[in-house]
Amino acid sequence: MEDRTTIQVSEKLRKELRVLASKRDLSYQELLSDMITVFKELDKEKTIISIPAGIANKIKEQIKHTDLSSASEYITFVLRLILSEQEKPFSSKDEKKIKARLRKLGYL
C-alpha cells in the first residue's frame, strides 16, 4: 500500500490546481506530488526559479549517473562554476571607474 498524505484545500484552490495540472498534462495527484517535492527542497535560504520543461528534462537525463540528486543541485553547481569564473579582482582602473559612476549618481 502506498503512503498517502491528506491535504485540506478550499474548493477554489482545488479548481486552480486542477487547471494547472491539466495545463501541464498531469493528473491532480502528480501535480500535488511535484509540489510536495519542491517544498521539501525549499528552505529559507533558497528561492524558486522557473525554467522551461525541455531544459529541466535534459538536466534530469544529464544527472542520472552523477552524485547530484536533483535538477536544483545541478543548476546550483553550474551557476556557482560560472559565477566563480567571472569573479576577478577589481583593478585600480576598474575601481576608479566605479567610484566615478557612483559620484555621478550622487552616492559618493
* pLDDT tier at 41, thresholds 50, 70, 90: confident
User: Given a cut of 60, is residue 12 above it in pLDDT?
Assistant: yes
C-alpha cell at 17: 490546481
pLDDT computed for residue 87 by the predictor? 65
Question: Any long-range contacts for 61-65 (C-beta under 8 Å, 24+ apart)?
Answer: none
pLDDT computed for residue 108 by the predictor? 65
For residue 101, what are the contacts with CB-CB under 8 A and spacing of at least 6?
none
Q: Which of 16-25, 44-53, 69-78 has the lowest mean pLDDT?
A: 44-53
Write phi, then psi, for 18 (nearest 5 degrees). -65, -40
pLDDT tens by residue, 74-101: 888 888 888 876 667 767 887 888 888 8
pLDDT computed for residue 4 by the predictor? 67
CA separation, residue 58 to residues 13, 23, 91 (Å): 31, 20, 39
Would residue 73 be called left, alpha or beta, if left means φ above 0 and alpha means ψ between -120 and 50 degrees?
A: alpha
pLDDT computed for residue 66 by the predictor? 87
User: Given a cut of 60, is residue 1 above it in pLDDT?
Assistant: no
Contact 92, 107 (CB under 8 A): no
